[in-house]
Amino acid sequence: MKNLNKKEKKKDQENKKDYSLWTNLKLSFKYAKHQKKEFILYFIFNVLLAIIGAIAPLLSAKQLLKLTDGILSELMAISILILIIEISRNLCNLLARKFSQIFAAEILKKIQIDIAREVLKIETSDLDKSSSGIFIDRLVKDTGRIADIFLDLNMSITEVVTNIGILFAVFVINKVLFFYYIIAISIIFVIEKIRISKFISVDKKYRKDAEKATGLVGELVRGVRDVKVLNASESFMKKISSDIKKINEERYEMGRIRRTYTFLSGSIRDILDFTLVALAVFMISKNYLTIANFVVIYMYRNKIFDLLTLVSRVLEWIKDFNLSAGRVFEVIGDDTFKKEKFGTKHINNIKGDFEFKNVHFGYNEEKEVLKGISFKVKHNETVSFVGKSGAGKSTIFSLLAKLYEPTSGSILIDGMNINELDCDSIRGNISIITQSPYIFNLTIRENFTIVKEDLTEEEMIKACKLAKLHEFIMSLPNGYDTLVGEGGLTLSGGQRQRLAIARALAQKTEIILFDEATSALDNETQKGIQDAINNMKNEYTILIIAHRLSTVINSDKIMIIDDGQITDTGTHEELLKTNKEYKKLYEMELKETK
């Protein structure tokens, strides 16, 4: 276990190395590829803004000198020039913002779509280990930060370059004041560095905890009914409150750091302002400096003081950008979350034969769930699996749909190894109807079209008739256009399963895997589902996980699964004769139903 932890830590570090600033920038630029025009325009207007920013204080200084010298005609000319320049500044600002918005929106859209697509590709075993909050927060919050910081960085870097130019001008005018500025900005820089390092460490924790809280809130919303029925509102609230409390404490701490350091650097700048004037007064009195030069240098003081604040802010944004981009590209790349791999072979018309050859599998290294499973199913056969709960029946289904991969052994579809087939050949030909199928919070019709876009009205109605659902749907006020609520809440368990069956029928997948519901469905519903399955028999390859033996009587083959192994196979009649345990279970069930 210790070894494993070490390994995981090492892997963690390797991942962090993978997402260096350079990698993140390269990956972000990839998304900006088609927005070059906007980015260049944004850059040009930023440069113009920086130039105006450099000229404006110079003009103001001139304006002040003309005023003190009483040269009113020149004062007027300079004032008009300042007006023109300020209007141009506003215009440049407007246009820079416009292009930055277009740029940010486009990048945001592309990254978000990519994340959504990549989440769907993550290996099921990795999804099992992750909270949904991880993906929601990264999709919604971190992507936004990437685009924003990308632009902020550009703006700040242009400004830094301009301000360095100004600092150079001060060097030319007066060396003493230049060195004064160097000392002053170094002090500001040190304070900023401390602030940033404190801020980033809290921010990192905050984001991790925030995504955990998002996941929990998501679970609360989805599981609200169960939470109520389990009378678990109080304990759930306790859990959520402690998470919310934690993230708010962290947010407060970030605010506190910001507040404290704003006060500190503000006060220090006031002191630096004062010492600058004091030093200048001394130098003017000693004739080391002219008033005109001092006015110019003084006008630029904010730009110069801002220089290292800007530099440290750029460093902060780079760190922030790296944090967000790392979290986003971690989802998109495949180092942290492994992505499903498929082969390249495509089968157009699948027959529906398949075979498990000595398949071993475990969800983790500690426990083997399937211990050498081998069986063959011919197309259009109906095969049932029976056995205790936890024996590994559903796992067989998951492996067949390639939701997980066997640790050893192979699975063949139509004689071809599943690993060689592309995703469409496998999942486009297999439907799994689970005990609690996921029904999307859309209309009934949309629940069909989401799995088959070009489905016709007739095909949909035919599928629903076969699944014994059509009459029920027609009794709803809006028929096929009725919204079914989140997770199909407004439907009963049996109706949800029949809708899932109809969905599978509409998809026309050749292989249908059906996990019969264990929940006590009323006889009518049970019969409805049974009829639906009987309707499909001989036309599809059907695998059933049967919880009631009455369901399996008509199967072509029944397999008994125990502790990850097939312990017996036969038809219902054969097993009644040869398998005492099966016979006992069947007789017990008959008694119960009498």
Those residues with Cβ within 8 angstroms of residue 592's Cβ, 6 or more apart along the chain or in another chain: none
Nearer to ligand ADP, 255 or 390 (CB): 390
Hey, what are 265's tokens?
């650097």
Nearer to ligand ADP, 165 or 390 (CB): 390
Measure the CA–CA gap between 221 and 280, rounded to whole angstroms.
65
Measure the CA–CA gap between 425 and 511, rounded to whole angstroms.
11
Least CB distance from residue 584 to ligand ADP, whole Å?
19
Measure the CA–CA gap between 578 and 97, rounded to whole angstroms.
80
DSSP of 123-188, one letter per residue?
-HHHHHHS-HHHHHHIIIIIHHHHHHHHHHHHHHHHHHHHHHHHHHHHHHH-HHHHHHHHHHHHHH
Helix (H) or strand (E) holding 359: strand 354-361
Q: Check if the beta carbon of residue 324 is closer than 8 Å to that of residue 146.
A: yes
Hey, what are 74's tokens?
């020149």
Nearer to ligand ADP, 391 or 517 (CB): 391
Least CB distance from residue 159 to ligand ADP, whole Å?
52
Nearer to ligand ADP, 189 or 363 (CB): 363
Q: In terms of DSSP bridges, do strands 565-570 and 408-413 run parallel, antiparallel, or are they unpaired?
A: unpaired
Nearer to ligand ADP, 119 or 560 (CB): 560
Q: For the chain, first and last CA: distance in Å?
A: 53
Nearer to ligand ADP, 348 or 389 (CB): 389
DSSP state of 440: -
Those residues with Cβ within 8 angstroms of residue 274's Cβ, 6 or more apart along the chain or in another chain: none
Least CB distance from residue 436 to ligand ADP, whole Å?
13
Nearer to ligand ADP, 297 or 386 (CB): 386
Least CB distance from residue 562 to ligand ADP, whole Å?
10
Hey, what are 269's tokens?
């700048």
Q: Alpha-carbon torsion 75, 78, 84, 88, what sign?
A: negative
**What is the chain's alpha carbon radius of gyration, rounded to the nearest angstrom?**
35
Least CB distance from residue 528 to ligand ADP, whole Å?
23
Q: Cα–Cα distances in Å, from 377 out to 51, 360, 384, 555, 558?
A: 76, 18, 11, 12, 11
Binding site for ligand ADP (CB under 6 A): 128, 363, 369, 387, 389-395
Nearer to ligand ADP, 152 or 219 (CB): 219
Q: 296: closest CA among 572, 571, 64, 20? A: 64
Least CB distance from residue 135 to ligand ADP, whole Å?
18
Nearer to ligand ADP, 127 or 553 (CB): 127
Nearer to ligand ADP, 327 or 393 (CB): 393
Three-state DSSP state, 499: helix
Least CB distance from residue 143 to ligand ADP, whole Å?
29
SS (H, E, C) 300-344: CHHHHHHHHHHHHHHHHHHHHHHHHHHHHHHHHCCCCCCECCCCC
Least CB distance from residue 428 to ligand ADP, whole Å?
23
Least CB distance from residue 371 to ligand ADP, whole Å?
11
Those residues with Cβ within 8 angstroms of residue 40's Cβ, 6 or more apart along the chain or in another chain: none
Measure the CA–CA gap between 26 and 44, rounded to whole angstroms.
22
Nearer to ligand ADP, 236 or 385 (CB): 385
Those residues with Cβ within 8 angstroms of residue 407's Cβ, 6 or more apart along the chain or in another chain: 360, 361, 362, 368
Least CB distance from residue 506 to ligand ADP, whole Å?
26
Nearer to ligand ADP, 214 or 395 (CB): 395
Helix (H) or strand (E) holding 557: strand 557-562
Least CB distance from residue 202 to ligand ADP, whole Å?
34
Least CB distance from residue 433 to ligand ADP, whole Å?
14
Q: What's the one-letter identity of residue 265?
A: S
